[in-house]
Structure 1
Amino acid sequence: MQTASFPQTLPASESRNWAAAMHIGALVLALLTSWMSGLAGALVAGAVYLAKRDEDAFVAEHAREALNFHLSMCLYACAIVVTGIVLLGATVLTLGIGAIVTVPAGLLLGAAACGLALLWLVSSIVAAVRALNGEHYEHPLTIRFFGRR
């Protein structure tokens, strides 16, 4: 049995522009302040969400997704920093003998930080492009702090 397919209409050009500008604005502000913080990007996304949540469902959805993503990136960055501090402390407390374990772990941690930064950058750009195309986008590795209404 075939189901009828309804043509999907694109959101208004203004909605797509708002959503894309929000993604780019969050990216730029976070880059200017410190890419690892994620809080600056969350500020932009949160402000757009609060301003547009009752007016435009498309923009609100993208802003909510970006808010969740940037807060998630902030938590992951904090976990990396705390782990780095623990590794450094383990090296110091063992008078350098622990470096046998902590140096390789530190290298893995550095690779994880670079991977997180790359994911954050690429995912933000993809989200902006998808918003311009009128498509929905879910960022990977995102904790859903704020769900749909």
Structure 2
Amino acid sequence: MNEYLASSKEDRTWAMVAHLSTLSGSFIPLGNVLGPLIIWLIKREGSAFVDAHGKEALNFNLSITIYAAISTVLIFVLIGAVLLFGLFVFWIVCMILACIKANEGNMYRYPLTIRFIK
């Protein structure tokens, strides 16, 4: 993964924005997917580092959306609420770790991520 080391502060900033853009899901339906998608589509050509982080953020948030949908269905079996809360905490912690790694110029691989975009 060393081939994805950031070459500039601007690359690190855009990679971090790709991860932080997931917070738009708090205000916009599916913003947690649309934010990273927009950043990735705009900046992927200019930097391999931003391309890698954008894909990683997009894949993670697509996976989280699927896990949240499954947890929502499981609310009827009384375990879904606990799963949704745990998923939310997991999402926030992983996003913060990814932002820190991006700011340091390192790559971060989210755990439990389905790799839709390779």
**TM-score of the two chains, using structure 1 as the length reference:** 0.71
Question: Letter of the aligned partner of 2:89 in structure 1?
Answer: L
Q: 1:32 deviation in Å?
A: 2.4
RMSD, matched Cα: 1.8
**1:16 — aligned with what?**
12
Deviant stretches of 4+, over 4 Å: none
Query: In structure 2, the residue corresponding to 1:138 is in which secondary structure?
Result: coil
Aligned length: 115
Greater helix proportion:
2
Contact kept? 2:94, 2:110, Cα under 8 Å = yes
In the alignment, the residues of structure 1 paired with residue 102 and residue 47 of structure 2 have an alpha-carbon distance, to the nearest angstrom, of 13
Query: In structure 2, the residue corresponding to 1:140 is in which secondary structure?
Result: coil
- Offset from partner CA, 1:97-129 (integer Å, 9 cap, x none): xxxxx4xxx1x3222111100000111111111
- The answer on 1:62 being equivalent to 2:57 is no
**2:25 — aligned with what?**
30
Identity of aligned residues (%): 35
Q: 1:10 deviation in Å?
A: 4.5
Structure 1, unpaired ranges of 5+: 1-7, 88-101
Question: Could you say which structure has the larger radius of gyration?
Answer: 1
Structure 2, unpaired ranges of 5+: none
**2:35 — aligned with what?**
44
Question: Letter of the aligned partner of 1:13 in structure 2?
Answer: K
Match of 1:109 among 73, 80, 84: 80
